Amino acid sequence: MDAGVSIRVTTPGYIAHVDYWSGTLLKNDASFKLRPGLAGTCYSFEPVNYPGYYLRHRDGEVWIDPYQGTSLFAYDASWWLETPAWVDR
């Protein structure tokens, strides 16, 4: 699976793991490869610019951390994808 997504917010800009704005670099920093879930279910998101790192839940926040090989990390880095409620199904 090598599908990719960029996470864009409803206000101008992207959700990214950087503190600066720069066209292509910013878009790539906000782009993730969709991977099979590390926990064996769902999906995991690997940043395009940071192979081996994953989007994960940690302490009530979303972080991008290097893969740690633990079951806790695998579950924290596995996400369900759902159609938003506002989308006409």
51 in Cβ contact with 45 (< 8 Å): no
pTM, rounded to two decimals: 0.73
Q: Give the pLDDT score at 58.
A: 86
| Most confidently modeled range among 14-18, 19-23, 72-76 | 72-76
Mean pLDDT, rounded, of the chain: 79
Q: Give the pLDDT score at 68.
A: 96
Q: Give the pLDDT score at 54.
A: 94
DSSP of the chain: ---EEE-B-SSSSB--SSSS--HHHHHHHTEEEEEE-TTSSSEEEEETTSTTEEEEEETTEEEEEE----HHHHHHT-B-----TTS--
- Record the tokens describing residue 81, joined without a space: 């994808």
Structural domains of the chain ordered from first start: 4-76 (2.80.10.50)
